[in-house]
A and B are shown apart, each in its own frame.
Chain A
Amino acid sequence: AQSVAQPEDQVNVAEGNPLTVKCTYSVSGNPYLFWYVQYPNRGLQFLLKYITGDNLVKGSYGFEAEFNKSQTSFHLKKPSALVSDSALYFCAVRDPFGANNLFFGTGTRLTVIP
């Protein structure tokens, strides 16, 4: 079965410090992986995706993610956190058998402390 795990419900980081939001996945076949961000009472915004190719994927707002096949991980990173990065982050994996449906993790709330 396809699934993603976000082991941390909450991540706190000081403004200007690097941030990492963790995601591990389980999928049959080649993984298609995604990161989304959600601000309060809003829909999800797409940040980046990994389909194939370079293991380091660059996305919106200075975010990047590193795909690691051996560790089945797809951690989201940013070199220098901003207070405006505070939000709820979701990792997702595409279901290769189910019409491109996505399985979402439970989310990680990132708080950037000024």
Chain B
Amino acid sequence: DGGITQSPKYLFRKEGQNVTLSCEQNLNHDAMYWYRQDPGQGLRLIYYSQIVNDFQKGDIAEGYSVSREKKESFPLTVTSAQKNPTAFYLCASRPSYNEQFFGPGTRLTVL
């Protein structure tokens, strides 16, 4: 997990609320990613960013938003439009070579 931090570790949200998940990396990686993990479904890509001030939708972007104002930070907002947000959220970053490095994750639960 070293070099990539996610906070909080656990997050509880009431229906209708927006919440923001933090992801910070000190690895000087250009690319950053957000994934959602559900049991039995593996990881699904929400958003990714290859460079500061630029980001693209992944496979399941509806109900989520991101920003990339700094190289080190890639926060994810789960909006009230996301109908089933309870999941484990993983942030990753990637240097110029191929493998991605993952943070420890945030578990979001809707009450």
Give A105 to B41 CA distance when docked, in angstroms: 8
Whether the pair B56, A104 counts as a contact (CB closer than 8 A) is: no
User: Which residues of chain B are within 8 angstroms of A99 by Cβ–Cβ distance?
Assistant: 31, 48, 50, 56
Please give, as numbers and ranges, the residues of chain B lying within 8 Å of A104 by CB-CB distance: 35, 42-44
Q: How many residues of B contact A (CB 8 A)?
A: 29
CB of B42 within 8 A of CB of A90, answer yes
Q: How far is the CA of A34 from the CA of B92 in the complex (A)?
A: 15
Work out how many contacts link A and B, with CB atoms closer than 8 A: 58
Main secondary structure of the interface of A (DSSP, over half): loop
Interface segment, one of B62-70, B76-84, B102-110: B102-110
- Shortest Cβ distance from A51 into chain B, in angstroms? 7
Q: Is the interface of B mostly helix, strand, loop or mixed?
A: strand
B53, CB-defined interface residue at 8 Å? no
B99 touches A34 (CB 8 A): yes
- Complex Cα distance, B42 from A34, in Å, reads 14
Asked if A41 contacts B100 (CB within 8 A), the reply is no
Contact A106/B105 with A43-B1, A46-B99, A100-B31 known, Cβ cut-off 8 Å: no
CA distance A46 to B98 in the complex (A): 11
Once bound together, how far apart are the Cα atoms of A44 and B56, in whole Å?
22
A94-B98 in contact given A99-B48, A101-B48 (Cβ < 8 Å): yes
- The answer to whether B103 and A9 touch across the interface, beta carbons within 8 angstroms, is no
- B45, A101: Cβ atoms under 8 Å? yes
Asked whether A42 lies within 8 Å of B98 as measured between CB atoms, the reply is no
B90 part of interface (Cβ distance < 8 Å): yes
Q: Which residue of B lies closest to A91 (CB)?
A: B42
Set of chain A residues within 8 Å of B98, measured between Cβ atoms: 32, 34, 49, 51, 94, 100
Q: Does B94 contact A (CB under 8 A)?
A: yes
Is A12 close to B, CB under 8 A? no
Q: Do residues B102 and A43 form an inter-chain contact, with CB atoms below 8 A? A: yes
